[in-house]
Amino acid sequence: MRAIVFTLLSFIAVLSLISGILVGSVDAGLGDLMDTLHGKENMKGYIILNVRMPRTLGAFFGGAALAVSGLLLQTYFRNPLAGPYVLGISSAAAFGVALYILAGIGAGYGIVGAAFAGSAIATVLILYIAARVRSAVTLLIAGLMLGYVFSAFERILITLAESEKVHEFVLWTFGSFSGITWDDLRVLFTLSIPVFVLTFLLSKPLNAMLLGEDYARSMGVDVRLLRIAVVATSSFLASLVTAFSGVVAFIGLATPHIARLLFRTSDHRILTPATILLGASIAVLCDVVARALLSPIELPVSVITSIFGAPIVIFLVMRRKRV
């Protein structure tokens, strides 16, 4: 049965990639895609090759990265509402971009560099705390507080900034995969694949963590080392995606729940690959809807992920309570 579900998820992932490449304000068909792959040069081929392919593949790897980040944090904190941004990563990235756009600091690094620098600072702080506390709840609260601090500094900058710059900053916070280039994609691919492999290798200790830290210790798991590994990998994945696409909501929160519902298991040897396929497909499909729904006007992808993601999370949480 699981093999059938994995086959269906793989099929949906391929379909989402094809739709991401073909759907947009300029009509394109499978023939145009094949012509592009065979090197035929025309306007549609240029759009497919240089705009839609990097954008779609960026959404694919970005969605997978957010979903894996959410899975790791929900397992470690044993909290169904934990997501990639619960440790203050998005607030720190937003603060970095606010410094760049609103205050003109770090102009040589661009929005991606500013977002990644902000996220990196938050990641270092969280790792420092993770190495010194024993309780997952303490770490979670520390992450939430860090987020509030970065948000407070961001709002100070917004209060003092010009309205045009505030508008540019707000658009970034909505999230979009539209600015991803082939160079960005190489970075996403090169850095995210090893983390996916590492997450799969952590399946056994993560399974033990589902029954609590004491049980994990009794099974020989180094809980402190696992805590640092989970915080480092989840924060790194969230930072990576946020730097290139802004804040994309709900994919990291909702996708692990959908994977558990489909496979009816908490085994990370199953959940990790399932979450990668689901997160990638959902991100691409939401990006397609965002650009096609009011075409040629394009909606922020977080609008679509929130509209679809919020009801799913409410349903899953209510269902969990009944169980």
Sign of CA dihedral 274, 275, 276, 280: positive
Residue-wise DSSP of 210-273: TT-HHHHHHTT--HHHHHHHHHHHHHHHHHHHHHHH----SHHHHHHHHHHHHHT---HHHHHH
Does residue 290 contact residue 300 with C-beta atoms inside 8 Å? yes
As to burial, measured by CB atoms within 10 angstroms (0-12 exposed, 13-18 middle, 19+ buried), residue 6 is middle
CB neighbour list of residue 214: distance below 8 Å, 6 or more residues apart? none
Q: Which domains, and CATH codes, for the chain?
A: 1-319 (1.10.3470.10)
Q: What is the pLDDT of residues 210-227, one digit of tens each?
A: 888 888 888 888 888 888
Q: What is the pLDDT of residues 98-138, one digit of tens each?
A: 888 887 775 556 777 787 788 788 878 887 887 787 777 78
Q: What angle do CA 73, 302, 114 make, to 5 degrees?
A: 75
Closest C-alpha among 151, 135, 149 to residue 97: 151
Q: Which two tokens stand for residue 288?
A: 């397609």
Q: What angle do CA 152, 110, 126 make, to 5 degrees?
A: 45
- pLDDT score at 197: 93
- pLDDT score at 54: 93
pTM of the model: 0.87
Residue type, 116: F
Residues of the chain with pLDDT under 70: 106-109, 317, 319-323
CB neighbour list of residue 290: distance below 8 Å, 6 or more residues apart? 176, 298, 299, 300, 301, 303, 304
